[in-house]
Structure 1
Amino acid sequence: MLGQLRRFLEILLAIFTVSLLLILTGVVVIAVVYRKLGASLSWYDEIAVILLAWITYYGSALASLKRAHIGFPNLVQAMPAPLRLLAVLLAELAVIAFFLLLAWTGWWVMEVLEGDTLVSLTWVPTSFTQSVIPVASLLVVLAQLLTMPEMLRRALHGVRLGDPHGPAAEEHP
């Protein structure tokens, strides 16, 4: 069940992130063409920056789900099993706590920006553009929770944590 949900979320985030990247590419190409024709787009810079931020946040959620973020697997691997398990558990809890705090702060930012709009596109609420902070933060928390059981199994059985292609924890007694 967790595996299916993880896979669904991974596909959804990959499609969404790639879509954002394609949209950003399109916006940049259109802006360059317009600029070459002597007519600059007033909204290009603001939208490009927002799209880049969204790609970063949602891409981070995808990286968390794939366990493709920064870690210290060799350091953890060198620890004895009980300490290794404790280190992985503490790291997981620290990441979850940080992103819950970031989600809460992002929600607060959205409330502060309530009623504001973009400078170049006055029909776009700033709170919508900043919604990426709490939404992506909660997606990272979900990713951590979905992958935590496997990480704890790997830590318990001494399977290299940073190697997604290593033997699955289920192969160990």
Structure 2
Amino acid sequence: MERLLNRFITVIDWWAVVLLVLMVVVVTLGVFFRYVLSASLAWYDEFASYLLVWLTFYGAVVASYRRRHIGFDMVVNRLMSRTRRKIEVVAELFVLGFHVVLFYYGWNLMHKMGDETAISLPWVKMGWVYSVLPIAGGLMLLISFERLLHICFGSRTGKGAEAAWSGSSSE
């Protein structure tokens, strides 16, 4: 499962790069039209905002997989192994709970707003825009579940809490 997840994260990483490049192109077009051609594009800022939201959530998936979010590893690494493992399990359960909430309410919001359209982009359904919430929430849910398994049972495979905490299982 870890190998498949690693490949999938690579695809998401590239998707985030595409979103970033697209956002730069859209903003550059907007600036060019406004200041060079003196003709403002009505849609570029809304589209760039949606791209930024998508980039943020897909970037969060990659950061979650690579353990690059804010943490207190200096404090946790000084604890004894047994205490560290307990704290990591509790912390991962909280993270898992947050991802369940993100997935569940993101799914509901996506369906509730599904037929609405964007203001300046009438061909863009808001369900597409909000789809990033359950997708990112679901992916981070899988990542957290896999990490929890590594923390709890990783010692049998040579990977334990240390690998799950340091991010070394994803590099």
Distance 1:82 1:117, change over 3 A: same
Superposed CA offset, 1:55-101 (max 9, x none): 00000000011111111112222222222111111111110111111
Amino acid at match of 1:118: A
| Alignment check: 8 A CA contact 1:73 1:160 kept | no
Percent identical residues: 32
Distance 1:25 1:35, change over 3 A: same
Quote the Cα distance in structure 2 between the aligned partners of 1:63 and 1:143.
11
Match of residue 133 from structure 1: 133
User: Is 2:109 aligned against 1:109?
Assistant: yes
Scaled by the length of structure 1, the TM-score of the pair is: 0.85
Distance 1:128 1:164, change over 3 A: closer
Distance 1:159 1:96, change over 3 A: closer
Quote the Cα distance in structure 2 between the aligned partners of 1:76 and 1:151.
14
Quote the Cα distance in structure 1 between the aligned partners of 2:102 and 2:91.
16
Amino acid at match of 1:120: S
Quote the Cα distance in structure 2 between the aligned partners of 1:162 and 1:90.
13
Count how many residue pairs are aligned between Structure 1 and Structure 2. Answer: 164
Scaled by the length of structure 2, the TM-score of the pair is: 0.86
Name which of structure 1's ranges 105-114 and 61-70 shifts more when overlaid on structure 2: 105-114
Aligned CA RMSD, in angstroms, stands at 2.2
Match of residue 143 from structure 1: 143
**Where does structure 2 lack aligned partners over 5 or more consecutive residues?**
none
**Where does structure 1 lack aligned partners over 5 or more consecutive residues?**
169-173
Query: RCO (CA 8 Å, sep 6+): is it higher in 1 or 2?
Result: 1
